[in-house]
Structure 1
Amino acid sequence: MSSPKVMATTLNSEHKRSQSLSGQFDEEYAFPKHLIPEVLSDDSKIPLVIVACGSYSPITYLHLRMFEMAKDHFMEKNEYELLAGYYSPVSDAYMKEGLAKAKDRVKMCQLAVESTSDWLMVDSWESRQCSYQRTAVVLDHFDEHLNQINGGIATKSGERRKIKIMLLAGGDLIASFGHPGVWTPNDLHHIVGRYGCVIIERTGTDVYGFLLSHDILYQHRMNVIVIKQLIHNDISSTKIRLFVKRGMSIKYLLPNPVIDYIYEHRLYLPS
């Protein structure tokens, strides 16, 4: 296996080669950091940012709830200071069935967080890429902007501290870690070992059992946080798209501004 230094260098090189942006966005790209505080509130805590990658076609209340469940966990455990959360929608190159255009998915995510949250942001970098970006590369992108370009976060003592970045994911995504050919071992070591995962365990899944059986996840188990979903929620983007296609109501399943955007732009209707 490649060393972490070599792995990081390789991923950073691929990051640089992927800078060809798609032309469907009206505005130039800028990394969003307006909700990140300038100074750490408690110097004894580890500054943390969590990132969720996905299609978000469309974003639902479940996607929003995942961040709130993570926030509750970190407030209770008192080890980390959660600074912000980010959605990173995939690019059109993902070619998944039912995938709306990247600019529409980014806009729906922005409408969702602007109308419901004061700590969540949407980063459009991954969405703008002309080729599919591996999750390891996306996390490197956040590390570059938060820690290399921005220099981390200031402490009350005047020092600057590196921000820890973790991937936020549902138990279904983590289960895919065990599917042959889906994730390379090097990428898994990079994602879980270098950054870490916050896993929302859905009802009926056994994430702990999976961690025990998966060699790489077990090796980095101290960098994996599992959060139980106390209220069952099975809202899915797939169901939302089907409801729109069949002319059924999607009210109370996602924020009203997102619903309005879907109808205004006639997304997910039969072609």
Structure 2
Amino acid sequence: MHLRLFELARDHLEDTGQYKVVSGIISPVGDGYKKKGLIEASHRLEMARLATENSDWITLGSWESMQPDWVETVEVIRHHHEKLLEKQQNCDETDTVKLTKKRRIENRYEASSHQKRRDGPQVMLLCGADVLESFGVPNLWKQDDIDEIVGRYGLVCITRSGNDPHKFIHKSDVLWKHRRNIHLVHEWVTNDISATHMRRALRRGQSVRYLLPDAVVSYIQQNNLYSAESEQKNADVVLAPLQRYLEASSS
């Protein structure tokens, strides 16, 4: 269902008439996050690759997963934004060369060969309402990071019936300040599939076919993933952001 969020977000953004969505990046968290039941990044990367191999616009971002320590979300967004800017710069330089060569042949272009695109690429964080509400959990996020994520980049939040993101935004000063950068998208065709439900079914030996792509189901079965043992991984470990920010606040 994470992939489904991308489709909902693209429809909404393009329907505003203000955006053309060119790419969606799914970025699995690294092992250093220490979430309970989090299996190895190598497996999660491969499953994400299999799940997106038939998409013509959703891609796999492996940078976050490959880092030895947990990387804050704002750093991941910065990384992908910088990569997009580099890509645009390379395209602009290529276009400039082509334009210059064409001018020498035809000599009839009015635009400057050094003219840049007026609007550069923009990155937004895509999430569900649960992530939006997690901004209020003490020591889970830095306020400066929230300010940068929402204020500089923007946020697309997929909501369902029963969620009240407007109320949460109203209660948060930092989110209210940047409310115009938050796109709330209501999911009318609801589906209660979640990673928790999938892991529970798998460790009980129940079928998850038609809930996950066949290639992902086959990979899980071949590698014996999501067992009672894997669910207890990191059970006694403090989540990386809580550990980092608690240490910072106490020092």
TM-score (norm 1): 0.73
* Residue of structure 1 equivalent to 2:85: 147
The structure-2 alpha-carbon separation of the partners of 1:217 and 1:152, relative to structure 1 and needing over 3 Å to count, comes to farther
Alignment counterpart, residue 137 of structure 1, candidates 70, 75, 80: 75
What residue identity is the alignment partner of 2:226? Y
CA distance in 2, matches of 1:236, 1:153: 39
Give the CA deviation at 1:148: 3.8
1:114 aligns with 2:53: yes
Alignment counterpart, residue 212 of structure 2, candidates 254, 265, 271: 254
Report the number of matched residues. 209
* Residue of structure 2 equivalent to 1:82: 21
Residue aligned with 2:38, SS: coil
More helix by share: 2
- Identical positions, percent: 40
What residue identity is the alignment partner of 1:177? F
| Structure 1, unaligned runs of 5 or more | 1-61
What residue identity is the alignment partner of 1:172? D
What residue identity is the alignment partner of 2:65? S
Residue aligned with 1:178, SS: coil
Alignment of 1:34-49 (within 5 A): none
TM-score (norm 2): 0.79
What residue identity is the alignment partner of 2:63? W
* Residue of structure 2 equivalent to 1:232: 190
Q: Which has the larger radius of gyration?
A: 2
Give the CA deviation at 1:152: 7.7
What residue identity is the alignment partner of 2:201? F
Q: Which runs of 4+ in 1 moved over 2 A?
A: 148-161
* 1:85-121 deviations in Å (ceiling 9; x for gaps): 0001000011111111101101101100113x11000
**Higher mean C-alpha displacement, 259-268 vs 154-163:** 154-163
Give the CA deviation at 1:149: 5.6
Alignment counterpart, residue 30 of structure 2, candidates 91, 95, 100: 91
Residue aligned with 2:24, SS: strand
Contact 1:91 1:131 in 2 (8 A): yes
Q: What value does the CA root-mean-square deviation take over the aligned residues?
A: 1.8
What residue identity is the alignment partner of 1:181? N
Alignment of 1:1-271 (within 5 A): 62-115=1-54, 117-148=55-86, 150-151=88-89, 159-160=116-117, 161-271=119-229
CA distance in 1, matches of 2:90, 2:30: 27
Contact 1:153 1:163 in 2 (8 A): no
**Higher mean C-alpha displacement, 162-171 vs 142-151:** 142-151
Give the CA deviation at 1:153: 6.1
Give the CA deviation at 1:270: 3.5
